[in-house]
Amino acid sequence: MANSIVNVTDATFKQEVLESELPVLVDFWAAWCGPCRMVAPVVESIANEYNGRLKVAKVDVDHNPNIAGQLGIMSIPTLIVFKGGQVAKAMVGYMPKDQMKKQLEGVI
């Protein structure tokens, strides 16, 4: 079964990400950003492969500047894994799937 990716906003971030029981991979992106569009299919494929073990969410920083600002995000794409409401891992920039899996293995 395909895992659906949740679009999270400034308003829903707390509930969807910080209070999630599963670890959450959050992809901070924007429409104008080429590398964000490059990493999108990788994130989608991760969502399918880790279905049940990992929740996957996206935050459009253009429309949700507060949460990106609070987390001190200054580059996109930034991918952050949250566990129990805490930042467990942050990754910046495009990376191929194999590399992203390696980064995730230690945390989830």
Active-site residues, by number, are: 33, 36
Measured from the CB atom, is 52 or 86 closer to other proteins? 86
| 72 is a site residue for other proteins (CB under 8 A) | yes
Per-residue contact flags (x/-) with other proteins for residues 4 to 23, judged by CB under 8 A? --------------------
Nearest CA-CA partner of 70 in 54, 82, 52, 84: 82
| DSSP strands (E only) in the chain | 6-7, 24-29, 55-60, 78-83, 86-92
Whether residue 77 has a cis bond before it, omega within 30° of 0 = yes
80, two tokens: 């952050």
SS3 93: coil
97 near other proteins, rule: CB under 8 A: yes
Closest approach, Cβ 75 to other proteins, in A, equals 4
Q: Does 86 bind other proteins (CB under 8 A)?
A: no
Q: Does 38 bind other proteins (CB under 8 A)?
A: yes
Q: Is 21 left (phi over 0), alpha (psi -120 to 50) or beta?
A: alpha
The least distance separating other proteins from the CB of residue 19, rounded to whole angstroms, comes to 26
State the residues that interact with other proteins by CB under 8 A. 30, 32-39, 41-42, 62, 68, 72-76, 78, 90, 92-94, 96-98
